[in-house]
Amino acid sequence: LSKVAFSVEIKNPHWGTKELPIWLGRALQCSFDRSGHSELSKNKFFN
């Protein structure tokens, strides 16, 4: 794994656009997977 820190963007109508640390992005990605939004989260966080 790369040690370079990076952030992800998530667009949410309630939050606007935020820059998130990657660990939070991954946590959200797991939440989306459980919620049935795995395709969206894969495209958003791992493209």
Whose tokens are 């935020």? That residue is: 18
Can you give the pLDDT at residue 26? 75
Integer-rounded Cα Rg, in Å, for the chain is: 11
**CA–CA distances in Å: residue 43 to residues 25, 33, 39:** 12, 12, 6
Q: Mean pLDDT throughout 26-42?
A: 61
Can you give the pLDDT at residue 1? 45
pTM, two decimal places? 0.27
